[in-house]
Amino acid sequence: MEIKKLHYLFAVVSYIFTIFHFIFTDYPKEYFISGIVFFSVAYVVYILFVYLYFKNNKGEKVVILGLFLLFICFVILFFITI
């Protein structure tokens, strides 16, 4: 199996299981909606990065830049919440 297909399979299976987790667990409506939205956005970003990475060499650089920007955002958010 190609690595690209393996990444897509992992994404689809994890998305399905996570959605089932939110549906069958007794979360308040607020947590349910925020969890579904967060994981859906993360899913789209992951699929987009996998697509760009395997598209061409320029895509690899875009993915590295995107991951670096996400890291910077998370670090800033971490220190804001402390």
User: Alpha-carbon torsion 24, 28, 33, 38, what sign?
Assistant: negative
pLDDT digit string (tens) for 18-28? Answer: 999 998 998 89
pTM: 0.81
What single-letter DSSP state applies at residue 25?
A: S
When divided into structural domains, the chain yields a total of 1
Structural domain range at position 41 = 3-81
Average pLDDT over residues 21-40: 91
> Which pLDDT does position 82 carry in this prediction?
76
Q: Under 8 Å CB-to-CB from 4, ≥6 apart: which residues?
A: 50, 54
30, with CB counted inside 10 A (0-12, 13-18, 19+), is exposed
pLDDT digit string (tens) for 66-82? Answer: 999 999 999 998 999 87
